[in-house]
Amino acid sequence: MRIADKTVTRAILERHGFTFKKSFGQNFLTDTNILQKIVDTAEIDKGVNVIEIGPGIGALTEFLAENAAEVMAFEIDDRLIPILADTLRDFDNVQVVNQDILKADLQTQIKAFKNPDLPIKVVANLPYYITTPILMHLIESKIPFQEFVVMMQKEVADRISAEPNTKAYGSLSIAVQYYMTAKVAFIVPRTVFVPAPNVDSAILKMTRRETPLVDVKNEDFLFDVSKASFVHRRKTLWNNLTNRFGKSDEVKAKLEKALEIAELAPNVRGEALSIEDFARLSDALESVALY
């Protein structure tokens, strides 16, 4: 019987007297078919090390441990550590780290893999309330994670994988797609969790690009400009940029020059711009000393 089997999950929770904490965004998956599908989507085999975030009672960890070389699971809730020691006792290739993934020294931690030179994939059911900070923290770290296969709120997955000229497209799409390709692999209904969340989830598969999607002089400034361009989605690029950089005659003259260099119309909206457009705009704004 699998950990994720509903009767087994219920028995584990009762045996340890575990109660869910809303502050940790805990929703445990109780569908073995979906767990197998996650592992298949991530193409986990013995040539891969896995980092998992928020293992809960070990439902996904069990599947990962059976397929991967090693699994390092970061769990912030210290109440779950003895439960994981119980449920994963048969696996000698799992390390449970009782730490907040946002505060962990990952460069040091991954050296604890028996073979740290193997490719590393991130496979996780991410807490909804902190999905974006975790993803950006991992993507922007200097660790060359090969791939992410992560569960998150469907709406967030749609935003990350969105194309220009769609409602979901925005600065988050740009921040992730600059580094990674992103595609929704499949939808996970809310009914397969304990407790059931209020929304459906999606499995998002992200693969690191060999080089960033665009060549830009200043990455941080690119993300700053893209964020500014979506502050008021219904406003034009011009309005959003003047809100960000100022409305003096000098600033407006520089903005006009930068838009001309980038070959962009002032009345276009941010959602119509590709990442390549934003890269040109970012470099143009920097060239006229607007940063």
Say whether both 100 and 234 belong to one domain: no
Say whether both 186 and 225 belong to one domain: no
Say whether both 129 and 60 belong to one domain: yes
Among 229, 128, 214, which residue's Cα sits nearest to residue 170? 229
Count the domains in the chain.
2
pLDDT for position 84: 98
Give the whole-angstrom CA distance, residue 56 versus residue 33.
Answer: 18
Say whether both 278 and 187 belong to one domain: no
Q: Mean pLDDT in the chain?
A: 95
pLDDT for position 129: 86
Say whether both 148 and 252 belong to one domain: no
Residue 213 lies in a domain: no
**In this predicted model, what pLDDT tens digit does every residue of 122-162 receive, in sequence order?**
999 998 889 999 999 998 888 989 999 999 999 999 999 99
The answer on whether 283 is annotated among ligand-binding residues is no
Give the whole-angstrom CA distance, residue 271 versus residue 130.
Answer: 24
**In this predicted model, what pLDDT tens digit does every residue of 77-131 receive, in sequence order?**
999 999 999 999 999 999 999 999 999 999 999 999 999 999 999 999 998 889 9
The answer on whether 98 is annotated among ligand-binding residues is no
Residue at which a domain ends, from 152, 175, 208: 208
- Which helix (H) or strand (E) segment holds residue 150: the answer is strand 147-153
pLDDT at residue 244 greater than cutoff 80: yes
> The domain spanning residue 54 has which CATH number?
3.40.50.150
Domain carrying residue 225? 219-287
Say whether both 56 and 192 belong to one domain: yes
> The domain spanning residue 224 has which CATH number?
1.10.8.100
Residue 1 lies in a domain: no
Residue at which a domain ends, from 208, 234, 269: 208
The answer on whether 29 is annotated among ligand-binding residues is yes
The answer on whether 75 is annotated among ligand-binding residues is yes
Instruction: State the average pLDDT over residues 236-259.
Output: 95
| CB 278 within 8 Å of CB 210 | no
pLDDT for position 141: 87
The answer on whether 125 is annotated among ligand-binding residues is yes
The answer on whether 106 is annotated among ligand-binding residues is no
Say whether both 119 and 236 belong to one domain: no
Residue at which a domain ends, from 208, 231, 259: 208
Residue 273 lies in a domain: yes
pLDDT for position 13: 94
**In this predicted model, what pLDDT tens digit does every residue of 157-204 receive, in sequence order?**
999 999 999 999 999 999 999 999 999 999 999 999 999 899 999 999
pTM equals 0.90
Say whether both 228 and 148 belong to one domain: no
pLDDT for position 223: 96
pLDDT for position 128: 86
pLDDT at residue 211 greater than cutoff 90: yes
pLDDT for position 127: 87
Say whether both 36 and 179 belong to one domain: yes
